[in-house]
């Protein structure tokens, strides 16, 4: 690569991925940002707009979860990989917008709508795939709870900011819950390994699909219910986890309002 090309790429990175954003982002999110930047390098010199990119990855994320309906080990892995690739493009539209100096309220709205559709769809398709291949209604119920409360947790911040006189902002790299730790460093350590951090969910899903293909379908018993396979266990964990996360965030945000 020529020195000119290296300088151009370095300038593109500095514009698309501000240093402060990369420094404060969770470890796995930095990986997703880098994957998004690979697509940015393809689109940034074209006439493709950030909103068109948002439409592209949004539509892709509507179809990718359908692979889980077959509950085939290899299709499950493909679905998890496809989700990571296209959710990473959620960074691409923003990077292209920063580079070209294009900002749009319509794009922000579209981004939020897509997440409200695709988060629950991913979990629902996993649950429905389990049901269609010999599972029970429990898997569907768990999927609805997990996907529903993941979405509700995600929209609480913009909902709060729309009615509060003082918007929630990141302070010194700490999110709202981070203030419970008293230390930014401690918070970042917990945040990086927190399985409820959205980007970590997708990596865990990929790991679960791979492990399930290797070890088959172990049986887990939860009270009076029996779950077969690692994906139902994945649904159980996130149904409980996102329900709890939603309740905690509601309580904290409610306490900030007068």
Which residue segments constitute the domains of the chain, with CATH numbers given? 3-256 (1.20.120.1760)
| Contact between 59 and 87 (Cβ < 8 Å) | no
Q: What share of the chain is helix, strand, coil (3-state, %, to 5)?
A: 80, 5, 20
Instruction: Tell me what pLDDT residue 169 has.
Output: 57
**DSSP string over 210-234:** HHHHHH---EEEETTEEEESHHHHH
For the chain, give the number of residues.
258
Mean pLDDT within 13-41: 87
Instruction: Tell me what pLDDT residue 170 has.
Output: 47
pTM over 0.75: yes
Express each pLDDT in 132-190 by its tens digit.
998 889 999 999 999 999 999 999 888 888 887 766 654 434 456 665 556 667 777 77
Express each pLDDT in 210-248 by its tens digit.
999 888 777 666 666 666 788 999 999 999 999 999 998
Higher pLDDT, 10 or 122: 122
Q: How far apart are CA 202 and CA 64, in angstroms?
A: 13
Express each pLDDT in 71-96 by its tens digit.
999 999 999 999 999 999 999 999 99
Instruction: Tell me what pLDDT residue 172 has.
Output: 39
């Amino acid at each position: 690569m020529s020195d000119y090309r290296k300088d151009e790429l370095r300038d593109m990175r500095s514009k698309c991925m501000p240093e402060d954003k990369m420094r404060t982002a969770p470890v796995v999110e930095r990986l997703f940002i880098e994957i998004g930047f690979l697509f940015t390098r393809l689109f940034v010199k074209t006439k493709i707009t950030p909103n068109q990119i948002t439409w592209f990855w949004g539509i892709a994320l509507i179809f990718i979860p359908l692979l889980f309906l077959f509950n085939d080990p290899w299709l499950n892995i493909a679905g998890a990989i496809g989700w990571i690739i296209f959710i990473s493009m959620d960074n691409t539209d923003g990077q292209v917008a920063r580079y070209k100096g294009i900002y749009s309220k319509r794009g922000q709205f579209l981004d939020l709508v897509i997440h409200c559709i695709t988060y629950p769809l991913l979990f629902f398709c996993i649950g429905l795939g389990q049901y269609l291949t010999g599972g029970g209604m429990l898997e569907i119920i768990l999927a609805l709870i997990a996907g529903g409360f993941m979405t509700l947790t995600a929209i609480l911040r913009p909902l709060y900011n729309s009615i509060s006189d003082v918007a929630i902002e990141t302070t010194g790299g700490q999110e709202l819950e981070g203030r419970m730790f008293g230390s930014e460093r401690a918070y970042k350590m917990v945040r990086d390994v927190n399985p409820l951090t959205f980007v970590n969910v997708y990596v865990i899903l990929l790991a679960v699909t791979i492990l399930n293909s290797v070890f088959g379908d172990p049986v887990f018993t939860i009270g009076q219910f029996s779950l077969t396979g690692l994906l139902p266990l994945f649904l159980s964990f996130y149904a409980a986890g996102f329900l709890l996360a939603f309740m905690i965030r509601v309580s904290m945000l409610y306490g900030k309002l007068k």
